[in-house]
């Protein structure tokens, strides 16, 4: 049986809010990204046959979760700030522990609980302050030796954004290279995203690899950075908790 046969499609508005036009495109993205995430985790030591505890952090409408759970038994847990997404996922009645978390830590999990965490298209939107706050929380709930796979947008994503979005037209590559991180808020009132659980400045972020190695490397060991490893659109980093106290 195909992994998606028993699922029902979200509404068109909910699909489009997560960047897909229809159910067929959702399934296509799921197959591509799910396989890429799985390979990334396994290549850094995750053994799915050992029934590890794995968290999908920022699961959205289950784009990665549904496929991986049906075919490989992970993730065991998933969370997201969007109550509309969580309502949809719970209606699918899959055997994953689902939580509608707050936009701010803590998560409702004990310290050193997870063997692995993956997060796709989350750090691509968080402002710099919230990125650090959530890196620390991911560190807290990950066991020593555990891994976190987090996607990000590299400088190669600038040209498309300058072409499509007015808010990016004045951003140049030299500034990104110099700062290492560039956050551009979305247009709209401060409360525009509160109904989907977002209570802090939100937008699009570009990171350089050097920034991730130096800044995120303060909290984790940086095991690998893979250019455009997520659907040939986003890159990802694999971080390992090595037991060193947080700065």
Q: What is the pLDDT of residues 70-127, one digit of tens each?
A: 999 999 999 999 999 999 999 999 999 999 999 999 999 999 999 999 999 999 999 9
CA dihedral for 193, 196, 201, 205, sign (positive or negative): negative
CATH fold, domain 49-240, is Rossmann fold (3.40.50)
- Please give the pLDDT value at position 189: 60
Residue 41 has pLDDT above 70, yes or no: yes
Cis bond before residue 75 (omega within 30° of 0): yes
How are beta strands 203-207 and 181-185 bridged, if at all? antiparallel
d(CA 46, CA 209): 24
pLDDT at position 74: 98
Which residues, including other chains, have CB under 8 Å from residue 31's CB and lie 6 or more apart? 67
Residue with tokens 């699909």: 15
Q: 45-79 burial, b for 16+ CB within 10 Å, e for fewer?
A: ebebeeebbbbbbbbbbbbbbbbbbbebebbbbbb
Decide: 78 and 58 in contact? Cβ < 8 Å. Answer: no
Cα angle value 163/165/168 (rounded, 5°): 85
Instruction: Tell me which residue has tokens 């890429």.
Output: 36
Q: What is the pLDDT of residue 28?
A: 97
> How many Cβ atoms are within 10 Å of 149's Cβ, its own excluded?
26
User: Contact 89/69 with Cβ under 8 angstroms?
Assistant: no
Which pLDDT score, from 0 to 100, does residue 60 have?
Answer: 98
Q: Calculate the alpha carbon distances from 99 to 31, 73, 76, 80, 160 in Å.
A: 24, 18, 12, 7, 34
CA distance 61 to 75: 14
Q: Where residue 244 falls among pLDDT bands split at 50, 70, 90?
A: confident
Global pTM reads: 0.97
Contact present, 141 and 114 (Cβ < 8 Å): yes
Beta-sheet pairing, 234-240 with 221-230: antiparallel
Kindly report, residue by residue over 162-184, the tens digit of the pLDDT. 999 999 999 999 999 999 999 99
Token pair for 83: 């109550």
pLDDT at 245: 79
- For 201, the enclosing helix (H) or strand (E) is none
- Return the residue matching tokens 């992970």: 74
């Amino acid at each position: 049986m195909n992994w998606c046969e028993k699922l029902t499609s979200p509404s068109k508005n909910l699909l489009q809010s997560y960047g897909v036009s229809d159910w067929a495109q959702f399934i296509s993205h799921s197959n591509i990204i799910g396989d890429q995430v799985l390979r990334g985790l396994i290549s850094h030591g995750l053994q799915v046959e050992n029934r590890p505890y794995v968290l999908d952090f920022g699961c959205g409408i289950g784009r990665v979760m549904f496929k991986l759970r049906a075919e490989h038994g992970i993730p065991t847990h998933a969370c997201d700030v969007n109550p509309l997404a969580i309502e949809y996922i719970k209606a699918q009645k899959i055997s994953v522990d689902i939580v509608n978390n707050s936009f701010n830590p803590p998560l409702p999990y004990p310290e050193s609980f997870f063997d692995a965490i993956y997060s796709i298209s989350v750090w691509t939107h968080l402002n710099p302050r919230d990125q650090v706050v959530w890196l620390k929380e991911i560190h807290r709930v990950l066991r020593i030796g555990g891994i976190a796979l987090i996607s990000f947008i590299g400088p190669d994503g600038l040209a498309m954004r300058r072409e499509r979005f007015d808010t990016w037209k004045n951003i140049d590559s030299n500034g990104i290279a110099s700062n290492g991180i560039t956050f551009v808020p979305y247009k709209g009132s401060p409360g525009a995203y509160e109904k989907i659980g977002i209570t802090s400045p939100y937008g699009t972020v570009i990171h350089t690899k050097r920034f991730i190695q130096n800044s995120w490397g303060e909290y984790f060991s940086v095991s690998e950075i893979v250019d455009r490893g997520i659907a040939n659109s986003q890159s990802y980093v694999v971080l390992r908790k090595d037991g060193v106290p947080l700065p």
